[in-house]
Every structure is written in structure tokens, then in C-alpha cells.
Amino acid sequence: MNISIQLATVDDVDDILRLIQGLADYEKLSHEVVATREKIIETLFGEKPFAECLLAKMDGQTVGFALFFHNYSTFLGQPGIYLEDLFVQPDFRGKGIGRKLLQSVAQIAGQRKCGRLEWAVLDWNQPAINFYDSLGATAMKQWFTYRLTGEALQKVGSQ
């Protein structure tokens, strides 16, 4: 079993979209996926990339991904990394692929002198919660995530 982690390139867009759909299926959110090949090319590989993506390959087959971007901690006075998505195809779980992806993002955070690495997990996703707990990650139970999208975002932005 040969597992490699590599930074995605524009040639990997179809694999990225396939993995995004796989994640959405797993999270029962397929109806929310509106990402297209063109959007991924523009936002990950265009003139101003907004995020980065690592791909996990096992024996040459793309089987997982970690998509992340920088944020900033005013309290630390340092950048951080927010892990938007971490996903391994179901048939390839339990082989250390998710761990290798997360370790790679953590290594990038260290190389870039980031003060922290953060992510969110759905409250029903007990396998992921157990995995994150096993790594020594801390659940931030005193914080709620808020989101503005669609009409609400446009309304607030136009006030």
C-alpha cells in the first residue's frame, strides 16, 4: 500500500469535484453542491487562489483530499489555517490516509508559522469526532458557527 500526499494542480480538478461530491453524499448534503469545474479552476488555481488542496493517492488512485485556507488570529498575532474539508473515500478509510492528510496540513501550518489549525465537524459524525479526539484536538464547545449565505448575505452587504 503506497500512500502519497501531493498538492493539487489544475489537472486534478475532476478528482477534486468527485471528492467534493463524495463528501457531500456522505454528509447528506448533495443538494447543496453547486461547485463547477470552472469555479474550482478560478478559485483554486486562478489569478488569486482562495484555498489550497492536498490530494491523497493510493497506488496512483486519488482517494482523499484536504482543502484549506489561511485565516488570522488577532489574539496570537499570527496566521492560522482553516481546514474546510477532509475526506477519504469510504472504501479507503482505516488505512491512515486521513491521518496523513491532516499531518500534511499540520506540517504546512508549522512551516508557515501558523498559530493554529482549526476545522468544524458535524455533531453526528462520531467516527470523525473520535479520530480528531485521538489526535489530541480540542472541541471548541463554547463557540457557535454562524453563516450568512444567499439573500441574507446580499441584504447585509447592501445595508
Q: Just list the catalytic residues.
A: 132
- Please, are residues 105 and 113 in contact by the beta-carbon 8 Å criterion? no
- Please, are residues 64 and 89 in contact by the beta-carbon 8 Å criterion? yes
Q: What is the CA radius of gyration of the chain?
A: 16
Tell me the Ramachandran region of residue 90: left when phi exceeds 0, alpha when psi lies from -120 to 50, beta otherwise: alpha
12: its cell numbers? 486534478
Q: Taking each helix axis from N to C terminus, what angle separates 37-45 and 13-26, rounded to the nearest 10 degrees?
A: 110
